[in-house]
A and B are shown apart, each in its own frame.
Chain A
Amino acid sequence: MLRIPCPHCGARDEVEFTYRGDATVARPAPDAGTDAFHDYLYLRRNPRGWQVEWWQHHGGCRAFLKVLRHTVTHEVRGVVTATGALEAPQA
């Protein structure tokens, strides 16, 4: 079971959280055009390894958090609030 350390609430079980997608894609500027919105919404790097993801602590503070998690081992290595910076290590 995933245990995610919420910066506001402490470490909690995965059942309190909801995954909400890859956090490395950003909503394009309004005039960026269809292709930019297409890529933002549909194209994914889908790494086999470290990924920065959006998770909402819906069963706690309800904050949207950025979580650095490994998609094979499921290890959670970093959690920051929405405006924080979090980078996936290379490879």
Chain B
Amino acid sequence: MARYSGLRVLTEGLRGNSGWKPAWRKAAPRPSYDVIVVGGGGHGLATAFYLASVHGITNVAVVERGLVGQGNTGRNTTIVRSNYLFPENNHFYEHALKLWEGLEQSLNYNVMMSQRGVINLFHNDAQRNAALRRGNSMRLNGIDAELLDRDGVKAMCPIVDLDNGRYPVMGGLLQRRGGTARHDAVAWGFAHAADARGVDIIEHCEVTGMIVEGGAIQGLRTTRGEIRAPKVGLAVAGSTSTLTAMAGFDVPIETHLLQAFVSEGLKPLIDCVVTFGAGHFYVSQSDKGGLVFGGGLDGYPSYGQRGTLPTAEHVYAAGVSMIPALGRLRGLRSWAGVMDMTPDGSPYICKTPVRGLYMTAGWCYGGFKATPGSGWCHAWTIAKDAPHRLNAAHTLDRFREGRMLDERGNGPFFWAQ
């Protein structure tokens, strides 16, 4: 397949753009593969890409119930960052962020990774102390973090109302290398690059059963027939519990809904990603001009991909409280994703009780930023049948052992993480 480049855009333009080929083949399933990855979202496609590009395993199928990138990959708020407290998490996310930084070049696809900076505002001493502890943990682990005072916040994001009447802003924790990426392009770019390395991407292929014999996975039953493989990786946000139930075990996941919103297009207004510390709200501006924003969970389990009004109203109210200039703008569209919430807010990239079955799951509402890192570690775990040190702590068993990765101390409550 011909590479994408500015020159090619130029020459194709001169020929009426008639020479472009599909970004990835519409593959049909073959009877067997070395590895099947279930889930054609960012995490699944990234898993396949890194299996091929890092481990040389190219006899790989990605099976997807619907379309590439139409799950949470295509319905999130596109934020990328690695500003975590625990070394187990911040090393993993930093690895992901480094992969993001070279992703265009490794995929030959412009995912518009834009390091615009991510600011978490804080409003009182306790929040500032927590930000200091987290930022210092990042710095001590070699990750960029800066403490902003009020003037620093004002300089980065002038329309934030520092004296918002209820919870004045005290400062912010900035990760300058954080930012946003174009979510659809991430899925398409991984699909394009995995396909170029021989991976079969099989859309409209729903898993209906797991073939498990003697405690080991043998393959999958799908709506497009049986597909055999000695190794299967699950990357199916929102459907993890359904699939593990087919394999005969339950997991520590409860699926919740999270709404996101976009405004009408505007000339540049907000240059960074900024999160409110006194309520559930965060916002950034896409390259197309829409403000992309969101808040917290609606608070109850749902697979409905549909949110309700009270949570939306809180998000909008928090937005106006943080930035009163938003009041006159307009919301254009809202949508909701399904969040696999875990009891400590941290994910699973691990082996499972079934031999040969692996998963990357439980991403709560932070999966997008992890995409390349999740795929990279998942691929490693599948290829080596053992976790990489970056995901060694992210097991299903950590709760049996009492080794939770609860960054905010919110406790074993799926809906509170």
Contact = CB atoms under 8 A, between A and B. Distances in A.
A46 B299 contact: no
B253 A44 contact: yes
Interface in A31-61: 34-35, 38, 41-48, 51, 53
A88 B245 CA distance: 17
B343 A42 contact: yes
A69 to B, nearest CB: 8
Interface string A5-29: 0000000011100110110000000
B266 to A, nearest CB: 29
Given A46-B251, A71-B255, 10 more contacts: A1-B308, A14-B310, A15-B310, A21-B413, A21-B414, A41-B399, A44-B251, A47-B241, A48-B255, A51-B301
B366 interface: no
Nearest to B301: A71
B302 interface: yes
A45 B299 contact: no
A19 B308 CA distance: 15
Interface of B: 239, 241-242, 245, 250-255, 299-304, 306, 308-310, 343, 399-400, 412-415
Interface of chain B: mostly helix, strand, loop or mixed: mixed
A59 B302 CA distance: 22
Contacts, number: 73
Contacts of B302: 71-72, 74
A57 to B, nearest CB: 14
A48 B412 contact: no
B245 A45 contact: yes
Given A1-B310, A13-B310, A41 B412 contact: yes
A65 to B, nearest CB: 13
A19 B302 CA distance: 12
B239 to A, nearest CB: 8
Interface of chain A: mostly helix, strand, loop or mixed: mixed
Given A41-B412, A43-B251, A51-B301, A2 B308 contact: yes
A73 interface: yes
B57 to A, nearest CB: 31
16 contacts: A2-B300, A14-B308, A21-B414, A34-B400, A35-B400, A38-B400, A42-B252, A44-B241, A44-B254, A44-B414, A45-B241, A45-B250, A46-B251, A46-B301, A51-B301, A53-B300
Given A13-B310, A51-B301, A72-B303, A46 B253 contact: yes
The 3 closest A-B pairs by CB, nearest first: A46-B241, A19-B300, A42-B252
Nearest to B400: A38
A39 B302 CA distance: 21
A71 B306 CA distance: 11
B278 to A, nearest CB: 19
A2 B309 CA distance: 10
Contacts of B413: 21
